[in-house]
Structure 1
Amino acid sequence: MDQPTVAGSTVKALCFWLAERGMDINALAHEAELDLSMLEDQDYRVPLPAYNLLWSRAEETLKDPAVGLHVGEWVDSRRMGVIGHIIFNNRTLEQGLKQYVRLSALVNEGVRTEFHLQGDDAVIEYHCERPEYYHRAGMDRMLALSVTRARRFVSEKIYLTKVGFSHPEPEYVAEYERIFQCPVSFNQPCCSLAFNKDFLTFELPQRNPYLHQALTRQVEALLQKLSLRRTVSHKVKAIVAKRLSRGDIEAEKVAEKMNMSRHTLYRKLKQEGVSFQELVEQVRKDKALDYLQKGKYSLSEIAFLLGFSELSAFSRAFKRWTGESPASYRSQQ
């Protein structure tokens, strides 16, 4: 199954903070298999395990178990991602929070965010979708950053009534109390922040309706891409693409890779309006067009890379897809 991902802007900000404190970011990126140049791309996504590895190495190298809290209380609007700018350009805090909940997967797919009222409190909950997605420093940072930014961009008057974390009580409890300035509990079912609901009506002083509208349009496109990545058909295509040259693309093996039976796979694909064979054909066609446009491989090599037993089979398939032969298509590039 696909790994959950984190926004590249989140990772970029963390790398900047760590570099400022003397850590070798190039070595760290190599270990985490990160392409630092790609962090300049606002659409770039980083696998959650790689992000969590950065936190583990930060704790070890800086010898700071509370590094997540310390990163979280660092606010630099120049390092804030597009989601942060959207939230603080809403009219009220409540509108900003509701939009954050809807867009939170763009920040971290491994954490599901919920917002609700409970008596006099407004409560934000952070649920890790699976235990292995939870990293203490990462969650420390997420909650500390939420509070720090609210105090910076909304009002210094905002105070919390309680905070909860899912991990056991660590040795640096005093740091939680210093930052959150309220009772903090541990070993909770989920991480959470609670504050008086009266703060929800606070108007955001730096709001810009035009900027908010433009940024919202931008992230809607990103959200659509992320939703597509979660579909079964998209995951099937990713697996098939990796296995084409081996010819190892039987439905049973793909289903096994996805931890489901072939029958379940077929049923889920039917719900998405596509068949397994149609996806295989689509992957082959897309890759064939890409290979022919780049001109790096011979036609026989392309046939092999696409899992065809011989060139003639590839040629027949390509003509069925495009109405012309591979050689004719390449000559036009």
Structure 2
Amino acid sequence: MTIKSGKSRVKNLFVNSSTAKVLCEYLIQKGINNELLISTLACELHELELADFRLNISAYHALWSLALSFTSDERLGLKLAQNPHNEEMGLVAHIFFNSPTLYEGLQQYQRYYSLVNEGMHIEIHNDDKFTHLEYVCDYNEVYCSADIEHTLALSVLRVQDHINRKLDLEAVHFQHPAPGDISEFKKIFRCPLRFNQSHSTLIFKKCYLNYKLPRRSPYLYKLLIKHIESLSRKILPAISFTDSVKTTLESQLSKDKVDAENIAKKMNMSRHTLYRRLKSEGISFHDLLDEVREEKAYAYLNKGKHSLSDIAFLLGFSELSAFSRAFKRWTGISPAKYLKSRPQE
């Protein structure tokens, strides 16, 4: 039996170079050798200045590891978010702050986040009172604690600086374990903090979504949207129809009845069109659903945070026995036996 740890197709994933640029500038100020930075990044430092330069995500994480080791500062991500150099915003941030409202800004942030980090995506969920802005890690290997701490802190500080300091958070969740000292987190986020969560999340009052952004420039906004669409077509790989269906399936597994009719409706097409386009890419709807469930099953089991009944529900199975039969078909053993055979961390 093969023990899976989740998705592992990360060698061709890239991130925007803006944070790497700021991090390099900080390390140079601290006296690091430029050649060490160049060898870690596998590129020249001046390339980080280019608007369309994309840094391999493995090199990006290697840079964070080097920075944490060189500075001996475990909270470097939080410190860097407060660095004056971070006033230099990237294209996605400019679009966010030039949107009409906070809601529309977040919609654009979600839409174009793949330009910032191809290994993660944004999900926005609302309940009766609160909005949850989730940073969802698509690949186990690309989660970087320092980077996510920097990302969430920078997002909060920029909103407070450029929109309104009174837009307080209700809570912040982090996917990684809690550090021994969370005093730096408290200074920045000023709200309840939870660690070891399923996703890293910013939670705030739903009514904030209607907030009109004060520095909006409609003309600049249109220019930025036009430019980012052109940039997206240039530097992002084409997403297959199968990938699009897979993303929709992943988001709907535990919410609705997961059948072709329902998924086709979510994607604004007929079931016949869904079947036909999947067939043209060499896969059936049934096989794709099975693939998604199998991948998610390994991820949930390896995290060890859910009961088997909960996992069955999250995968869209009507009952635990149905999940157990499917898992045995995938692996030859039951989910319970899989947990016992899994290497202990």
TM-score by length of 1: 0.67
Q: Give the structure with higher Rg (CA).
A: 1
Task: Find the aligned partners of 1:188 and 1:33 in 2 and give their Cα distance.
Answer: 33
Task: Give the corresponding residue for 1:58.
Answer: 67
- 1:103, distance to aligned residue in structure 2 (A): 0.4
- 1:231, distance to aligned residue in structure 2 (A): 5.4
Task: Give the corresponding residue for 1:185.
Answer: 194
- Please give the secondary structure, in 2, of the residue aligned with 1:178: helix
Selected match of 1:96 from 102, 105, 123: 105
Asked if the contact 1:154/1:202 (under 8 Å) is kept, the reply is no
Task: Find the aligned partners of 1:38 and 1:89 in 2 and give their Cα distance.
Answer: 27
Q: Which amino acid aligns with 1:134?
A: Y
Asked if the contact 1:10/1:107 (under 8 Å) is kept, the reply is no
- 1:271, distance to aligned residue in structure 2 (A): 2.9
Selected match of 1:224 from 230, 233, 249: 233
Task: Find the aligned partners of 1:96 and 1:170 in 2 and give their Cα distance.
Answer: 32
- Please give the secondary structure, in 1, of the residue aligned with 2:171: strand
- Please give the secondary structure, in 2, of the residue aligned with 1:228: coil
Equivalence map 1:157-306=2 (5 Å): 157-228=166-237, 271=281
Task: Find the aligned partners of 1:30 and 1:227 in 2 and give their Cα distance.
Answer: 25
2:76 equivalent to 1:72:
no
Asked if the contact 2:40/2:63 (under 8 Å) is kept, the reply is no
- 1:119, distance to aligned residue in structure 2 (A): 2.4
- Please give the secondary structure, in 2, of the residue aligned with 1:46: strand
- Please give the secondary structure, in 2, of the residue aligned with 1:162: strand
Task: Find the aligned partners of 1:181 and 1:25 in 2 and give their Cα distance.
Answer: 37
- 1:139, distance to aligned residue in structure 2 (A): 0.7
Task: Give the corresponding residue for 2:46.
Answer: 37
Selected match of 2:30 from 12, 18, 21: 21
Q: Which amino acid aligns with 2:77?
A: G
Task: Find the aligned partners of 2:82 and 2:206 in 1 and give their Cα distance.
Answer: 23
Task: Find the aligned partners of 1:59 and 1:155 in 2 and give their Cα distance.
Answer: 32
Selected match of 2:94 from 81, 85, 94: 85
Q: Which amino acid aligns with 1:140?
A: E
Asked if the contact 1:93/1:203 (under 8 Å) is kept, the reply is yes
Task: Give the corresponding residue for 1:243.
Answer: none
2:118 equivalent to 1:109:
yes
TM-score by length of 2: 0.64
Asked if the contact 1:34/1:50 (under 8 Å) is kept, the reply is no
Task: Give the corresponding residue for 2:139.
Answer: 130
Which moved further from structure 2: 41-50 or 194-203? 194-203
Selected match of 1:149 from 146, 158, 175: 158
Q: Which amino acid aligns with 1:124?
A: L
In the alignment of these two chains, the number of paired residues is 238
User: Percent same amino acid at aligned positions?
Assistant: 36
Asked if the contact 2:124/2:133 (under 8 Å) is kept, the reply is yes
Task: Find the aligned partners of 1:270 and 1:24 in 2 and give their Cα distance.
Answer: 52
Task: Find the aligned partners of 2:191 and 2:74 in 1 and give their Cα distance.
Answer: 21
Task: Give the corresponding residue for 2:342.
Answer: none
Cα RMSD, aligned residues only: 2.2
Asked if the contact 2:125/2:132 (under 8 Å) is kept, the reply is yes
Q: 1:207 to 1:52 in 2, by over 3 A?
A: same
Q: Which amino acid aligns with 1:11?
A: A
Asked if the contact 1:65/1:172 (under 8 Å) is kept, the reply is no
Q: 1:181 to 1:78 in 2, by over 3 A?
A: closer
- 1:230, distance to aligned residue in structure 2 (A): 5.1
- Please give the secondary structure, in 2, of the residue aligned with 1:194: strand
Q: Which amino acid aligns with 2:281?
A: Q
Asked if the contact 1:114/1:124 (under 8 Å) is kept, the reply is yes
Asked if the contact 2:24/2:37 (under 8 Å) is kept, the reply is no
- Please give the secondary structure, in 2, of the residue aligned with 1:119: coil
Which 5+ residue runs of structure 1 have no aligned equivalent? 233-266, 273-333
Q: 1:138 to 1:77 in 2, by over 3 A?
A: closer
Asked if the contact 2:121/2:138 (under 8 Å) is kept, the reply is yes
Which deviations, in whole Å up to 9, do the C-alpha atoms of 1:33-75 show, x marking residues without a partner? 1222222221110011111111111111111000011112335
- Please give the secondary structure, in 2, of the residue aligned with 1:204: coil
Task: Find the aligned partners of 2:166 and 2:18 in 1 and give their Cα distance.
Answer: 28
Asked if the contact 2:134/2:199 (under 8 Å) is kept, the reply is yes
